[in-house]
Amino acid sequence: MKYTVREEGGYTVLELTGEVDLSCSPEARKQILLCLDEKRNLLVDMSRVNYIDSSGVASLVEGFQTAKKRNLKFGLVGVSGSAMSVLQLARLDKVFPIHLNVQERLKADG
């Protein structure tokens, strides 16, 4: 897994690339929590994630819960087909705010 961080429309966008599995989900978790520790609204761009397991999903869940506790905005954008099927299977597509891309999320925010 690789990641990049960029700023867009008042959000920090963490783009994950590759496989988010047990071996690298601690790094994904660290980056997610780092953004939230710095009180930044966070979008996780998952357009380049080709595999995610339950430990990776747990990192997203922790980000979602931490953001909620700290009144920060959190969401997923551009979720790839394979990642989406994992989220849908677990009905997590109804839990996370998911948008096609950052622009769509900004529109939804109003």
Positions touching other proteins (CB under 8 A) are 22, 29, 54-55, 57-65, 89-92, 94-95
What is the Cβ-side half-sphere exposure of residue 100, based on CA atoms within 13 angstroms? 4
Least gap, CB of 9 to other proteins (angstroms): 26
Neighbouring residues of 57: CB distance < 8 A, sequence distance ≥ 6: 86, 87, 90, 92
Q: Which CB, 28 or 102, lies closer to other proteins?
A: 28
Q: Which CB, 72 or 106, lies closer to other proteins?
A: 72
Paired with 4 in beta bridges are 15
Least gap, CB of 74 to other proteins (angstroms): 12
Least gap, CB of 96 to other proteins (angstroms): 10
Q: Which CB, 22 or 100, lies closer to other proteins?
A: 22
